């Protein structure tokens, strides 16, 4: 194509060039060819990201080295101020970060909101990256535009090991944000018991803020790459198949404000998008006190029998991944999509640290440890698996699953299986 005159500078709707895509997918031969034909190593997408940003985020060492050999800028900032080193910190790509630093990357470069790579690593819980940055001389006392040090960021996210590492490197425990909050007061508001115990011993009593305030804590997050990775095939109106390969992303500050303090989003994978009109919703933690009334059940399950519930012209899709949602000290809740009726509710102060609860629908042969069956028993349905495996809560959580049991002939019965403990 290049020999026939195809431009190596062609861009997709998001501004990605072929080199951007090759860098993200680690296609070394293609990237080398594109560079030989004049592709620019510092070409920007619409959001200001270069191919080096993408290869650094994905952890591709050879690709990053190739781009650096062709004068890629290690300190190139996107429009929100993110550099390749910030993205390495977000994804714990220590090997690529080492290459970037050796090629002149600034260790304490800041985003528009004032976040250094150390802030980002502390926020996302990347311990290896935190240690690497500290060994390279990153400053532990640098503050963001709102006065957050890396210690504040780690305390907000409940990362106790990172907090200990920062303290060992001289992080100031008494530093306050623009709102007058110490790392300890943030941990107290969010209910991180282990973090509070760690910081109590090093924070001066005069700076300790009472934890019994009614004001809700506003979560502060660093910038992230909110760019959709896509190909030109989307110009034909097709669904973006590459979206399913993106990792779950963290919320930005603006998104959290728009959602309100008590809500957490459900990030649904591509196989959930059967119909864009189907409702996927989150439930605020206040719904913990709700109970399912007979009238509610009657209305909800009446929808299952309506003719327009299923498009019979579409081929049946067997879904593997149902849904996931974030849980922190404020709790969180999930309702399944497509009227599945599955509910998982984690009340406030039940999570010892932020975690992503996943809910999957599996066949028995996909499990390494299938459920035990007695003689004469068999599975009547697929298996609902909740993750993360081995997760422990500080108190009871509620799980509710509707079971459509077959009685005799064509008679069916709806049974709600519920566990409050």
Secondary structure string (H, E, C) spanning 350-362: CECCCEEEEEEEE
Summarised one tens digit per residue, pLDDT across range 397-407 is: 888 888 777 77
pLDDT above 80: residue 268: no
pLDDT of 300: 45
Summarised one tens digit per residue, pLDDT across range 212-252 is: 445 677 888 898 887 665 543 333 333 333 333 333 344 44
Summarised one tens digit per residue, pLDDT across range 42-95 is: 999 999 999 999 999 999 999 999 999 999 999 999 999 999 999 999 999 999
pLDDT of 336: 55
Summarised one tens digit per residue, pLDDT across range 19-28 is: 999 999 999 9
pLDDT of 47: 93
Grade residue 338 by pLDDT with cuts at 50, 70 and 90.
low
pLDDT of 340: 65
Q: What is the mean pLDDT of residues 305-310?
A: 42
- H-helix or E-strand containing 412? strand 412-419
pLDDT of 206: 64
Question: Strand, helix or coil at 233?
Answer: helix
pLDDT of 332: 82
d(CA 150, CA 142): 7
Closest Cα partner for 386 from 321, 337, 291, 329? Answer: 321
CATH 1.25.40.20 fits 74-207, yes or no: yes
Summarised one tens digit per residue, pLDDT across range 365-384 is: 776 667 777 777 777 677 88
> Which one has a higher pLDDT value, 268 or 202?
202
Q: What percent of the chain has pLDDT over 70?
A: 72
pLDDT above 70: residue 200: yes
Would you give the distance in Å from CA 374 to the centre of its chain?
40
3-class DSSP string for 262-304: CCCCECCCHHHCCCCCCCCCECCHHHHHCCCCHHHHHHHHHHH
> Which one has a higher pLDDT value, 98 or 349?
98
Measured over all CA atoms, what is the biggest interatomic distance in the chain, rounded to whole angstroms?
73
Grade residue 104 by pLDDT with cuts at 50, 70 and 90.
very high
Q: What are phi and psi of 387, to 5 degrees?
A: -130, 175
407 class by beta-carbon count within 10 Å (0-12 exposed, 13-18 middle, 19+ buried): exposed
d(CA 280, CA 102): 46
d(CA 219, CA 152): 11
Q: What is the mean pLDDT of residues 389-415?
A: 81
When the pLDDT of each residue in the chain is averaged and rounded to a whole number, the result is: 78
Question: What residue spans in the chain does CATH classification 1.25.40.20 cover?
Answer: 74-207
pLDDT of 101: 98
Q: Which residues contact 400 (CB under 8 A, 6 or more apart)?
A: 292, 341, 342, 343, 344, 345, 416, 417, 418, 419
Q: How far apart are the first and last CA of the chain?
A: 62
Residue showing tokens 């002149």: 104
pLDDT of 319: 44
pLDDT of 266: 41
> Among 24-38, 261-275, 310-324, 374-388, which stretch is predicted with the lowest mean pLDDT?
261-275
pLDDT of 368: 65
Grade residue 346 by pLDDT with cuts at 50, 70 and 90.
confident
> Which one has a higher pLDDT value, 164 or 210?
164
Question: What residue spans in the chain does CATH classification 2.60.220 cover?
Answer: 262-419
Which CATH number does 262-419 carry?
2.60.220
408 class by beta-carbon count within 10 Å (0-12 exposed, 13-18 middle, 19+ buried): exposed
């Amino acid at each position: 194509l290049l020999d026939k005159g195809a431009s190596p500078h062609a861009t997709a709707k998001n501004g990605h060039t072929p080199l951007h895509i090759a860098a993200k997918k680690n296609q070394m031969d293609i990237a080398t060819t594109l560079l030989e034909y004049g592709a620019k190593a510092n070409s920007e997408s619409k959001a200001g990201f270069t191919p080096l940003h993408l290869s650094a985020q994905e952890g591709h060492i050879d690709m990053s080295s190739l781009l650096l050999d062709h004068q890629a800028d290690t300190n190139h900032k996107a429009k929100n101020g993110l550099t390749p080193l910030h993205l390495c910190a977000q994804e714990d790509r220590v090997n690529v970060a080492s290459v970037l630093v050796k090629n002149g990357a600034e260790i304490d470069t800041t985003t528009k909101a004032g976040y250094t790579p150390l802030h980002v690593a502390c926020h996302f819980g990347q311990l290896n990256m935190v240690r690497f940055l500290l060994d390279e001389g990153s400053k532990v006392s640098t503050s963001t535009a709102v006065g957050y040090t890396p210690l504040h960021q780690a305390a907000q996210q409940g990362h106790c090991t990172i907090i200990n590492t920062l303290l060992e490197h001289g992080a100031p425990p008494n530093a306050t944000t623009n709102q007058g909050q110490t790392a300890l007061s943030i941990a107290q508001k969010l209910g991180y018991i282990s973090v509070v115990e760690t910081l109590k011993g090093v924070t001066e009593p005069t700076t300790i803020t009472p934890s019994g305030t009614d004001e809700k804590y506003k979560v502060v997050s660093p910038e992230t790459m909110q760019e959709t990775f896509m190909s030109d095939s989307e110009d034909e109106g097709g669904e973006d198949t590459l979206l399913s390969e993106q990792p779950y992303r963290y919320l930005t500050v603006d998104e959290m404000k728009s959602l309100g303090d008590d809500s957490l989003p459900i990030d649904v994978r591509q196989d959930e998008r059967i119909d864009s009109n189907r409702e996927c919703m989150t439930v605020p933690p206040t719904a913990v006190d709700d109970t399912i009334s007979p009238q509610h059940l009657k209305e909800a399950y009446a929808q299952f029998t309506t003719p327009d519930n299923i498009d019979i012209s579409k081929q049946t899709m067997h879904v593997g991944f149902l849904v996931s949602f974030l849980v922190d000290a404020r709790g969180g809740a999930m309702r399944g999509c497509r009227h599945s009726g599955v509910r998982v509710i984690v009340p406030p102060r039940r999570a010892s640290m932020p975690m992503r609860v996943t809910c999957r629908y599996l066949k028995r042969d996909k499990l390494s440890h299938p459920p035990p069956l007695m003689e004469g028993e068999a599975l009547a349905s697929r298996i609902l698996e909740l993750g993360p495996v081995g997760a422990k809560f500080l108190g009871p959580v509620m799980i509710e699953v509707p079971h459509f049991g077959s009685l005799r002939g064509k008679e069916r019965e709806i049974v709600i299986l519920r566990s409050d403990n």
